[in-house]
Amino acid sequence: MRALVIDDSRTMRRIVAGALEDLGFSTVQAGDGQQALDLLESGEEVDLACIDWNMPVMDGLTFVTRVRANPAWRNITLMMVTTESEHGQIVRALAAGAHEYLIKPFTTDAIRDKLDLLGLVPAEEPV
Amino acid sequence: MSLTQDTFAFVADVVRRRSAIQLEAGKEYLVESRLLPLAREGGHAGVDAYVREVRSARRESDLADIVEALTTNETSWFRDNAPFSALRTHIVPGLRAERTVLDGLKVWSAACSTGQEPYSIAMTLTDVLGPGARFSITATDLSEQVLAQARSGRYSQLEVNRGLPAPMMVRWFQRAGHDWQIADELRRSITFAKHNLLDLPPAGPFDVVFLRNVLIYFDLETKRSILGRVHRALRPGGYLVLGAAETTIGVDGDWERVPVERGSVYRPVHAGAVPSPRPAPGTLTGATPAVPTAAPRVPVSGAPTSTWPVQPRPATTLPTAPRRPAGPAFEQGVTR
């Protein structure tokens, strides 16, 4: 599976991408929502996007809205990964079409739990 | 620093006597990591020195602290998913099919730790039973400390990040300073109580018992004895939900294994009774009753008979195998 990691912090992108790669994802990165849209429009195919909220050029919420408006991208799972932690902001993100919401700071276990909920962590065969 | 065998043997004996949990050889790292905070708190250089002091002082409170430290652990919401999916899609529909009225459903969440399991059950039942339906959950643990948090329904940001679906979070939680507070409606449906699994079960009878990731820590005889008590606490036709690496097979023959999706739940078999007059939707009929045979002890870190097709996870309220360490940046809480 392939994931798009969108964050204007290179460190954060590296951390999120590293956690996803540990779980078997290949990753591609973008520094803001517009760069991420450009990647998708150029034909980049991803199963999951992890999206920061506050970014220059295009914020994460606008990116979510734009992705949801395009039926060609309906299969992309969208997860906000952000410091924004107010109840109302989570409601807004879900209403815009985000499937999950992970608040920074988080542990690697938390990212795995969220992907589990989304059915994106391959189940291991019983031993 | 590693523990002396003498220290480990003493701690293992205290824990076994007071909780029946077996700390096998190889769990020295666990004893050390759990007791080190207590040792430091008491100004000791390490766990060996702390335990020497405990042994000479013979204070009851020290022994209680040790048992608490070794039997408490972090947990997550909807842990492993499959049991909650089974509750939603098989157990409740199964009970509904067998009873004219499904009101006042009673659930026991045993070894509930800081409450994520019983609250996850409450969220699931509220959804699946519909508005106005009555149910009650008895949630028990050996540790007063975890029960206090569970009762408060207050969780840190890191705790709500663990496995709680965002729609559930906005529905059932409100911000409370830096923490999150669970809704009173859910808290009212749960009674939290201290309980040792070696004692008589809490007042039932129960329709469903969640006893997950607990049996793996006990020897065969203790497992059998606990399962016997749970059997008596369940209503005929009730359901037992075990953890991913647990089964009644080879331990206690008085259970019918019911395959559910890619896992299993268990129903008590009563002498002379037909266990499933009307099977739950989607369950297989004629499931082979468990045959009691001697089985090797299930190792804590292994999953020889996984009943849920998921990655075996550490126990909810009990000692666990080490997990892949989180990156230092995560541990420090990366923000931007």
Minimal Cβ distance to B157: which of A85, A87, A125 = A85
- Closest CA relative to residue A108, chosen from B317, B308, B158, B115: B158
Mean pLDDT of chain A: 92
CB B72 within 8 A of CB B143: yes
Q: How far apart, in whole angstroms, are the C-alpha atoms of residue A16 and residue B142?
A: 37
A52 CA: distance to closest CA in chain B (Å): 10
Please check the confidence at residue B239 and state whether its pLDDT lies above 90.
yes
Q: What pLDDT does B258 receive?
A: 92
Structure tokens, B176:
């409370």
Q: Which residues in chain A are contacts of B170 at CB distance < 8 A?
A: 87, 90-91, 94
CB A124 within 8 A of CB B310: yes
CB B244 within 8 A of CB B312: yes
Comparison of pLDDT for B297 and B4, the residue scoring more: B4
Minimal Cβ distance to B330: which of A86, A107, A113 = A107
What stretch of H or E contains A116? helix A108-117
Among A8-17, B5-14, B22-31, B134-143, the minimum mean pLDDT is found in B22-31
CA B48 to each of CA B17, B41, B42, B118, B319: distance values in angstroms, whole numbers, following the listed order? 20, 14, 12, 37, 19
Please check the confidence at residue B273 and state whether its pLDDT lies above 70.
no
Q: What pLDDT does B226 receive?
A: 93
For an interface test with B, give the residue of A106, A111, A114 to mutate (most B CBs within 10 A). Answer: A106
CA A32 to each of CA A4, A8, B208, B333: distance values in angstroms, whole numbers, following the listed order? 11, 6, 48, 22
A37-82 pLDDT tens trace: 999 999 999 999 999 999 999 999 999 999 999 999 999 999 999 9
Minimal Cβ distance to A113: which of B163, B174, B302 = B163
Could you tell me the pLDDT band of residue B243, with boundaries at 50, 70 and 90? Answer: confident
Mean pLDDT of chain B: 78
CA B202 to each of CA A100, B81, B141, B189, B229: distance values in angstroms, whole numbers, following the listed order? 37, 26, 11, 16, 10
B308-317 pLDDT tens trace: 333 333 333 4
Q: What's this model's pTM, rounded to 2 decimal places?
A: 0.72
For an interface test with B, give the residue of A20, A103, A118, A121 to mutate (most B CBs within 10 A). Answer: A103
CB contact (8 A) between residue A109 and residue B335:
no
